[in-house]
Chains A and B, each alone.
Chain A
Amino acid sequence: MFPPALIAEAAVNGLLAGAAYALVALGLTLVYGVLHIVNFAHGALLTCAMFAAWGLHAAFGLDPYLSIPPLAVAFFGLGYALQRWVIGPSSHGDDGNTLLVTLGLSIVLENALLAVFRSDTRSLGGDAGFDVVEVGPMLLSYPRLVGFAVALVTAALLWALLSATDTGRAIRAVAKEKLGAQLVGIDPRHVYAVTFGLGCACLAIAACLLLPTFYVNPRVGNAFVLVAFTIVVLGGMGSIPGALLGGLFVGVVESLGGLFLGDSLGQLGIFVIFILVLLFRPTGLFGPRA
């Protein structure tokens, strides 16, 4: 058995790691809540963002935290363009098609990165990723603490954007009643693209937060994509607080699972939770009962 202090430390570190998951899930749940589509390219887009942050560091020595504003803007634009001119038109308004198109997109992005960067694993180097802060008896990772704080701020900003701005009102209108929104002059294609862009901006922020403690290779997004889906399903598809809570929860489960089951089976916990939730509470732990 492990001493309680070790378990507590694993739990808190899991909570902090969960913040980055939450941010990835936030983008996914936002897109689902408004467009009612599952964006399968989410993981591959995260990989792209991580490569972008890594590239800015490698080329200009830019600190990943400073890359947040430019990358968030750039990925907003990328997401807008993808939804407006690729995913939207080629799906012909059919959910099954959207699923297939985003799957195709993820395959293209992942393997294009593989073709360019090969399968080598890269990281920032240096040992900034290992900085720790002593909190009582526990040693907490400094980059993860930063990640936790930024994730909370981002979620709060997103929340404010959705509830207090005209854009946010348009997004909510389209999510609730597409036809009605259209009748009052909102172009749903634009709103969809903006939403998709916001989802990608969340990814860019998550990528910058992950990079100091993580590595990057063309398949790194895969590790996150099912985790993010689990979180989104757990929190209730489309729910922002759900994504936040679900993300923190999954971070803790993964950290404790790794502690008790070892790394190779530790991942299993996530998938088992995912399947169980889908089978028994598809509206999520915090959503309404089916």
Chain B
Amino acid sequence: MAKLTFHGGVHPWDGKALSKDKPMKAIVPQGEMVYPLSQHIGAPAVPVVKKGDRVLTGQKIAEAGGFVSAPIYATVSGTVKAIEPRRVVTGDMVNAIIIDNDRLFEEVSYTPNDPEALDKKEIVELIKEAGVVGMGGAGFPTHVKLSPKEPEKIEYVIANCAECEPYLTSDYRRMLEEPEKLVEGLKIILRLFDNAQGILAIEDNKPDCIALLGGLVENEERITVKALKTKYPQGAERQIIYATTGREINSSMLPADAGCVVDNVDTIVAVYHAVKEGRPLMNRIVTVTGDAVRDPRNFYVRIGMNYRDLIEEAGGFKSEPEKVVSGGPMMGFALFDLDVPTTKTASALLCMTRDEVSMMEPGPCINCGRCVEACPGRVVPRRLAVIAEHHDAEAFVANDGMECCECGCCSYVCPAKRQLTQSIKSMRKTVLANRKKQG
């Protein structure tokens, strides 16, 4: 049988060996904790505490600022020190709640539920209240994803276990160490969609996960494990839908339009915690890795912790890093300052001794077509980049520039080392901003 895959894509060095065999390790946070009010797509959360308030672990400190929004919970006990703008991974200053950690870790109590006894509305409400958002990187509020207009038309709930970004092993560890939670979480989501099948879609570079989860769902009628060809960006939403179901959606469609719901591993585990244990989203797995880190490994991190502390826990730097990336090397954000908090969407911290990109000088395009071959969006990156450099918004849209998913494949393969993704990305931003302006 042909392997499940998609058109285009690249095979960068995966770097996963650095951290894949390191079990998840919990970190006890020491210093102040920072909770940006925008850790998700949609309206910022609204603080429900004020300076000087004492809060407990698991206490809500900000509530959703609208339907497409998510509440935020304290992950330590302590006192609210301030509510002020702080720098986040994108480099922007975002309003944040700062809590002085008293290291007592006094926790509120949670009410566990029997998912079988809950109705659909109650399940979605629990997920919404827990502040669950897409933890693969996008941060789209999960309760919105799970509330499509016609839930009976959802045919597949896809657990995105691809983890196609190089270096990242957080989902891998989660699958190996807590596979039951993933399966239980998926079963809870399947309760919302009567006509849906659950798919655990895993890249075939993780045969142990495929075997483990395959065994677990052997007797589950509604869940199957599907092995995907290992190729970046196999875990991109549109690509994983295509690989598992053969359905194509474009940028202006939702997965629900193809009868699909896609959720990342950590998100599904968060759903499990929210519904079964009644616990809000407070933790995530973060891979701290790269050749500049002494002891690359996977951490069970309380959201709000400073990146500096994560690196400290990984033994610090063994060599001075030239570049530190929040996320993977293909789509992550380069940081200019390590003094930023871990958010709900932070999957990794990649510390590189050398920044190979800055040593490469872009040369003229030779029209080789490698970008066209690699583009999973099936656009012509070379042409879009030229249009973008001329700021021709109309031509950009006409040439399907908005179909770009910013995966970085075109820049990766370019032998002339041109910044194709960057040009296309900034033009997309401009077009989106203009659309917003015009309403």
A and B: interacting chains:
no
Interface residues of B (CB under 8 A from A): none
